[in-house]
Structures are given as structure tokens and as C-alpha cells.
């Protein structure tokens, strides 16, 4: 007997994308889906939550799960991010382990140690191969990792250019188990719209502020009102910071920085949601929130939140 949501010969599964911070996991997810659902920035630890992207095709549904970068965490906040990523590995049907072609990542050994504890297939995805001056450097890297782990496949890619993503999809489909259609065909993610509104605001702060401030901010949505008769969504968002000096920088001289964050975020949220957006931004001081378990829960970063 077939269960609800199951189709004969239908294949489905969860595919975790794991790796050290800033190796290109979010960029890869966006390329695989051919649309943006995970924010990107040239800074490590941009991704703070598990973000699932749903790819529907003829006879299959793949749920790719972007995860926070795995590293040796020094505080409660970052330990929570790493635990989120590691727990995703054990819950997946297969794993895409991303590394950089050019640079060694110290966290890779930690990731390999955790991969050895599971029995699901692991694909080694070598990103940024387009940056290699000598392509001959790739073979020794593949051999070195092949001696450390039995990978199902090794796939060189350039996530930024979208090169190699078809190879990833082909390999994933070859190992994808039979299963139900977990989500309706028109779903592209399992996260609510307000989550993406907060993420896009946070992304603009990452791009506009080049100091360490982005790591000390959390964006919360306090109002999300859909007015379909006006093709409008009204959003009030709070940018939480840890210190008065950070608040001043985010607001900027005469409020210009906050205005620019709001302008860029509003335009991208409108594109993502396909309607007009009213966006109100406020800045609030929440001292040492990254060390406060209550604040971490409130902002959705607690270990139990996943």
C-alpha cells in the first residue's frame, strides 16, 4: 500500500551541503535551484540556520539543505551553529562535502570525523577550481582526500559560475532513494516568508558594513501583514545589536546607512515575494545577545530551535 504523497517509482531525499565557513555552500544551493533562497556574502558564517531548497523534477524531489559553516566554535552562539550543521549530516540521505580547491580548511578534519559516523553516501565537491592557476594541482588534492575517506564521487565545480552543478545533480539522482513527495510541487523552500525577509535585511548589512558589526547583529521580524487587495506586505523589522557604538554605525550619519539598508532590502524582498513591500527598520541594543541563551532562543538560534 502506498502512503499519502507517494508516487510509484518516485525518488526523493534530503541532501545536506556541509563544509567549512565561506566555501560557497549557499552559492551552490542557489545555483542548484536556479534561484536565490540562501543569502551570500564574502564573509564566513553568513548562514546561521538550516535553509532547505526544494528542487522538483520529473519523477523526483530533492531537498538540499544549506548549513552553517563547521569550525571549532569558541562561544555558545557558534557552538549552536556547528551543532545545527552536524545534526543535519545524520538526518540526511546523502551529503555534499564542499572544500576549496585553493586553500586548506582546518575544519575539514572535524567534518571528516563526523562523516565517518554515518553510513549515507558522501560526495566530495571541490569548489573554486576556476581559481587554480595550474589544473594539475587538482589530482593530488583528489588523491589526498580519497585516501582519507571513501567518497561516492568527486566533483570539481565553480559554484559562482554554475559550472559542475549538472554533474552534482546527476550524481545525486543516481543515489536518491525511492520516497514520497514531501512538499507540493510549487514549494521552493520549507522556510516561511518572514524568515527570508529577515535574511535579506541581514545580507544587506553584510554587504554595506565591512567591519565586524554583521557578526553582532540579529534581525527579527515584529510585523508581517499581508494585504492582498493592495498587493502589499507591511513589514516591521528590528536590527538587534550588542553595543551603542554598533547602533550608531548601522544608523549612520543622518540615518543614511539605515535608509540604504532599507532601500536595498526592500527591493530584493519585493523581487523575492513578488509584491510591493512597506519596510520599517528599527535598531535595538540587546547587550551580549550571543552569550544569552534566552536571546538566542528569541532570535531562533538556540540548539533546540532546529
pLDDT over 50 (residue 112):
yes
pLDDT in tens, 250-304: 999 999 999 999 999 999 999 988 999 999 999 999 998 888 888 878 877 754 4
Burial class of 10 by CB neighbour count within 10 A (0 to 12, 13 to 18, 19+): middle
Looking at domain 11-175, its CATH architecture is: 3-Layer(aba) Sandwich (3.40)
Stated pTM of the model: 0.74
Q: Is 193-305 assigned to CATH 2.70.150.10?
A: no
> Per-residue pLDDT tens for 122-163?
999 999 999 888 888 899 999 999 999 999 999 999 999 999
Pick from 3-7, 11-15, 277-281: least confident: 3-7
SS3 assignment, position 110 = helix
Confidence of residue 1 (pLDDT cuts 50, 70, 90): very low
Evaluate if residue 230 carries a pLDDT over 70. yes
Query: Per-residue pLDDT averaged across 178-201, rounded?
Result: 90
Question: What pLDDT is stored for residue 2 in this prediction?
Answer: 42
Residue 42 clears pLDDT 60, i.e. is over it: no
pLDDT at 82 over 60: no
Spell out the domain ranges in the chain: 11-175, 193-305
CA 286, 291, 293, 298 dihedral sign is: positive
**In sequence order, what are the beta bridge partners of 236?**
223, 280
pLDDT at 211 over 50: yes
- Confidence grade of residue 77 (pLDDT, cut at 50, 70, 90): low
What integer pLDDT is reported at residue 294 of this predicted model? 85
Over residues 202-224, the mean pLDDT reads 84
Which of 101-105, 170-174, 285-289 shows the lowest mean pLDDT across its residues? 101-105
Tell which wins on pLDDT, 214 or 123: 123
Residue 50: left if φ>0, alpha if ψ -120 to 50, beta else—which one? Answer: beta
Buried b / exposed e over 243-267, threshold 16 CB at 10 Å, is eeebbebbbeeeeebbeebbebbbe
CA distance 31 to 279: 28
Is 193-305 in the same CATH topology as 11-175? no
Predicted confidence band of residue 224 (pLDDT cuts 50, 70, 90): very high
Calculate the average pLDDT of the chain.
85
Instruction: Grade residue 164 by pLDDT with cuts at 50, 70 and 90.
Output: very high
For residues 51 and 81, what is the distance between their CA atoms, to the nearest angstrom?
Answer: 12
pLDDT of res. 305 = 41
**Does the pLDDT of residue 79 top 80, yes or no?**
no
Give percent of the chain above pLDDT 70. 84
Q: In 3D, which of 235, 279, 233, 283 has the Cα closest to residue 257?
A: 283
- What pLDDT does 84 receive? 63
Q: Name which residue leads in pLDDT, 210 or 67.
A: 67
Amino acid at each position: 500500500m502506498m502512503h499519502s504523497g507517494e508516487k510509484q517509482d518516485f525518488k526523493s531525499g534530503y541532501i545536506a551541503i556541509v563544509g567549512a565557513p565561506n566555501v560557497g555552500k549557499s552559492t551552490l544551493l542557489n545555483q542548484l535551484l536556479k534561484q536565490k533562497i540562501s543569502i551570500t556574502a564574502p564573509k564566513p558564517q553568513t548562514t546561521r540556520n538550516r535553509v532547505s531548497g526544494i528542487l522538483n523534477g520529473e519523477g523526483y524531489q530533492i531537498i538540499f539543505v544549506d548549513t552553517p559553516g563547521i569550525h571549532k566554535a569558541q562561544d555558545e552562539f557558534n557552538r549552536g551553529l556547528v551543532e545545527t550543521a552536524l545534526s543535519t549530516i545524520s538526518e540526511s540521505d546523502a551529503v555534499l562535502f564542499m572544500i576549496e580547491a585553493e586553500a586548506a580548511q582546518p575544519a575539514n578534519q572535524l567534518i571528516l570525523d563526523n562523516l565517518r559516523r554515518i553510513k549515507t553516501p558522501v560526495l566530495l565537491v571541490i569548489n573554486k577550481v576556476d581559481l587554480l592557476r595550474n589544473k594539475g594541482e587538482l589530482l593530488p588534492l583528489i588523491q589526498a582526500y580519497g585516501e582519507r575517506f571513501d567518497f561516492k564521487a568527486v566533483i570539481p565545480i565553480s559554484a559562482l559560475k554554475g559550472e559542475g552543478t549538472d554533474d552534482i545533480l546527476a550524481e545525486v539522482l543516481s543515489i536518491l532513494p525511492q520516497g514520497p513527495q514531501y512538499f507540493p510541487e510549487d514549494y521552493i523552500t520549507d522556510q516561511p516568508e518572514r524568515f527570508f525577509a529577515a535574511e535579506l535585511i541581514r545580507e544587506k548589512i553584510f554587504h554595506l558594513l565591512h567591519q565586524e558589526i554583521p557578526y553582532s547583529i540579529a534581525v527579527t521580524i515584529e510585523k508581517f501583514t499581508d494585504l492582498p487587495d493592495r498587493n502589499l506586505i507591511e513589514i516591521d523589522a528590528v536590527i538587534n545589536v550588542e553595543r551603542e557604538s554598533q547602533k550608531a554605525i548601522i544608523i549612520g550619519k543622518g540615518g543614511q546607512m539605515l535608509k540604504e539598508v532599507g532601500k536595498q532590502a526592500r527591493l530584493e524582498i519585493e523581487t523575492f515575494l513578488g509584491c510591493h513591500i512597506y519596510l520599517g527598520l528599527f535598531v535595538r541594543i540587546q547587550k551580549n545577545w550571543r552569550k544569552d541563551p534566552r536571546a538566542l532562543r528569541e532570535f531562533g538560534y538556540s540548539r533546540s530551535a532546529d
